[in-house]
Structure 1
């Protein structure tokens, strides 16, 4: 594992390529040479699979030339030459070619690997409308009366129901369909996905007209999402006849609805696009989405028609080297879109989910007031903003928000000032309760050394303050016929950074429980920038955002600065939220999470992608990543589940998951973390240094 940790194939990825070669109409020798040149480039760059356009060896626009024996024989010879050349290429290639079977001609995709033709897939649906007249030359797949075809002196599997396994790459099973096949109501690839195909390939010619490129994006995106698969799409480009049509050479790679790569359109030269497909992620999604398995049961008869063909490739090439870096954008902040427009949309939706959920809870219960503790820190600030908007939606006065700031032994002047300013900004009923007298009484009752003047700042000292605040809030809610609004967030619940039974853990309703810390930061900034609770107030909200995250339970030593900084204990939230996302949402092993984090957070000067639009406070090397991931794993899997099994109701806001025992996450409270920590131990301590002068 350590020897190949930096190779993307080790972590369930596969590099795929889509080629758009220049072509000449009815010149198979030229077309095969262009195809082979791109295939060699794809192999050099570590691809395991490369796809080329429909009828690429002949050109799509041959029309009645397809009836000419000389052209068909030249295509057969070009296909044979590509098969021979593939003996030294560590990948599978898929090319478009006309194939004679008996007394019929078929528009086919030939799969080539390891020096031989592994299988031939005929087109199932032949368009006969608009500018298309394919039935004039070709027969549809279901016209065939054989499941083999003789090519290059051997019998080759033939049919539309073929699946191809590349055994050298775990999880890579692919299916091929041709152009129109994906435009029909139920594409053949839908059944292929249920039959286990993780990568779906479409060889297309597809002339261009206004608006068609955008529709192709929609079509491919939706098919990849429905099938929980990767989808490779290629179409014809420079060289096809423009007698009556034009060609743009569009190539696309989608994974579960997400665009990974696309070509430049209308290029004069051949081109090749690459994408690193996460096969493990697709497998995890299919397991998680149980209706995928239910669909397999319901369509058993269709799935049973498929044959699985093994495609062995030579054991060599870049994709087997110790180091093959990931060429795929991995966002540092998976919960927060980097694009400013999408980020604003995300913040707007999350904020409204939180507000609507609180409105429903208050409406259903008939309660018109809420009680909330306001510390002057990030989480309680956002919860207060949600309460304000909820009161507006209910047409109730914001004075119905009973907000309390409760300074203790370690409350800083800064956060106390911010709490007062926030309450004034919102226009709630603001109150201040000094909890030190009641805490001293509790400490005296306990016989704690602090009650005798000794500076004993232990966990009991901290929790007495947290407990007193919670006790006040619940009794105030009783007294005022209100409910207590929780402020603790998803990141704190994941790391167990909350005291059992107190305010950051327990409430009547928690609006923040499935919102991670990194997203709350941007929510508060978005509220400030968009004036959600009024035009003024951005200054105090920005001040909150600039405040160190601290529980403020141990008195500081100088200048009013907090003695405690949360992230010095549990690790930086920006990195722990990254770990949480890939652990909770996809169930990835720690070694893969570390690999992704190293790609996202490592030295971007040597990386494949530019810095994210979001500002990160730090950059982390592999040792930092490994250390903080270890903290996360032990706290998440071993230490904290007992707190999560009894959290209050809270709205789920995103597909990234929640930790509610009634929703996304059900786990035993007494499990161990040993298997996760053992997997993490397989990660090397440092990244390899680049060669001198590189």
Structure 2
């Protein structure tokens, strides 16, 4: 019993119902030409994911249902079975999957387990479904569920396999974080083995605000074999499945027959063409480590720019590592013709920094503008001289320079319609080593979730993939500096980045307290200083540009600390602090 399965790993745009429907119909046509029997789309393919507060508008829900009707009509006289995500509604709203066949909506499944952690807020919007679903075609039994339903140990797969499902289809929108793709595949293999079934997992691909969806849809068999779609790009992934494998595996190994049904089950009889031979059994490589992070940053930037109606980006080129890497990612995402670098030297900018910025731009082939700020800076100082009389120069004068540069970049954005890229990294944002309305100014922060040490790793990876020094070697070797005063380096103010980043990761992503961090070999003063900086700069981060999430916990919707907050995160009279 062989079924040709197509996983339509598409890049949708939230709210673009017309565009999403057009893309869905194009993939239906392509799948039909390829002889696909079952075509699966990602979670909420009609609306895009996550639609957030759009689903609180009745007009949007109705338009989403009308869009689904257009897809249903498109399936008239088509043999393949189409399963796709949409927002269902009766008296409440549901994250749902529609099953379409030959112009009919033959079944609807409503997601039963709603995630409400990390970046997910589904309980804010949706009600949970109560019925598991099985589709029957002769000896083929298909269980349909959605994303989180498969991750929980006692989800609807339990009922579906108890009642004979040999194929589980999961519609998903699982956001990227570094290292997650391998763990996700391992979980799918575990589920396929313990429930003696094949699992077809169709994941979304593309960028949506700070989220990136990496695709890597997969078909996993209970004997441990897996077939994986491409990462970070659209694909109609086709696999011919011999579902007798699941039957034989169940006979040999059994499934968890002690499980009891905990939910109602709905069954629907349906007829579509099965095959008698196998033609498609392909698989792609999973990118890991720094490669997958780079791919996520490129995709996230490309989609943010294009989906928000921009074509060109601009960024300040300082000759430092952050702006150099941001420019490289921008060129990879958008093409060199759509990136403009702006040099804004001051009296404190070294000649080597200017040379490095120009060399980077030449190597990338991007256009540059030079707008010196020394005269503007001294004009500010003159204007403020009476107000500042009797005060020594301090960080105020440094921040004025950063804000002048932010003003220039925003002026270019206004004049030419360019999107400004903020180039700060996660280490700087965590500690407040960034100027509000200065270098934090911009429409999108491409390195917002990348620690400084990882910025260097990404830059090295980029140069290695290009087999030449696009980013000049001197940028790697010179001490990081904002160059806002004579002989300034970042380490005048901050701990060494190797130490700083480790402390930040332990606190932000692992949730360790100050005293627990000490157990990793750091000294009291460094830990205390770092966590005080993290806490006091929450107000800055709240006003920063959105950026791409790549870590377990990113600043943004994944980090919701109160600005007004009197809880001490550092050491308190020898007691533990969180």
Q: TM-score, with normalisation over the residues of structure 1? A: 0.41
Q: TM-score, with normalisation over the residues of structure 2? A: 0.49
Greater CA radius of gyration, 1 or 2? 1
